[in-house]
């Protein structure tokens, strides 16, 4: 795996059952020497607490666009400006749609619009949602804008169905992050 120590990664965590895997992603990227700034959607907090990710990243977790009392400079813009990579893992159909349509109604989607860093999305959702024409059109739109995707993979889904929609294995996501950072894209 290429060495890319010391980069700044904004990790977006959305409301998927796979959100618990963000803890492992955060831990592995931090151990590799990266600064991981976690941004959670409100729905993600139904699956994993910000405290878990705060402890593993050793950084504050951002979850509210309007809770920016640190200084005069908007925190989401600061995160967007300093990011070497925006990684969204897991990414729901909802956040993929927001990104494709340029919506910015929460912290994560606002950071997406404001960053010049490369974007890597690791989807996780029900297979029917993944294969829906709207989701596939949104993915195609984002790919046309140089957004990179990893997964989803096939297997048993949390909803009880077998099929495509599982989050890509954490080790594979971390490896793709390292490759993307080594390329110096952005």
Return the active site residues.
159
Residue 131's Cβ-side half-sphere holds a number of Cα atoms within 13 Å equal to 9
Most distant CA pair in the chain, distance = 49
* Alpha-carbon distances, residue 2 vs 8, 15, 170, 184 (angstroms): 16, 31, 17, 12
Q: Are β-strands 148-149 and 153-156 bridged in parallel, bridged antiparallel, or unpaired?
A: unpaired
Q: Which two tokens stand for residue 171?
A: 């080790």
3-state SS, residue 33: coil
> CA-based Rg of the chain, rounded to a whole angstrom?
15
Q: Which residue has the tokens 């492992």?
A: 24
3-state SS, residue 91: strand
Give the H/E segment covering residue 143.
helix 133-144
| Nearest 10 degrees: Cα torsion 30, 73, 49, 45 | -120
């Amino acid at each position: 795996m290429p060495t890319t120590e010391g980069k700044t990664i904004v990790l977006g965590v959305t409301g998927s059952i796979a959100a618990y895997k963000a803890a492992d992603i955060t831990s592995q990227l931090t151990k590799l020497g990266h600064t991981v700034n976690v941004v959670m959607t409100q729905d993600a907090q139904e699956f994993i607490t910000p405290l878990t990710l705060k402890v593993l990243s050793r950084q504050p977790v951002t979850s509210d666009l309007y809770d920016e009392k640190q200084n005069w400079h908007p925190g989401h813009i600061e995160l967007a400006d300093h990011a070497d990579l925006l990684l969204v893992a897991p990414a729901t159909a909802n956040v993929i749609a927001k990104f494709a349509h340029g919506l910015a109604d929460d912290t994560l989607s606002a950071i997406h619009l404001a960053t010049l860093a490369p974007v890597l999305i690791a989807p996780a959702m029900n297979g029917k949602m993944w294969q829906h024409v709207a989701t596939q059109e949104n993915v195609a739109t984002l790919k046309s804008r140089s957004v990179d995707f990893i997964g989803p993979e096939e297997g048993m889904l949390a909803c009880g169905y077998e099929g495509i929609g599982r989050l890509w294995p954490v080790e594979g996501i971390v490896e793709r992050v390292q490759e993307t950072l080594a390329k110096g894209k952005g």
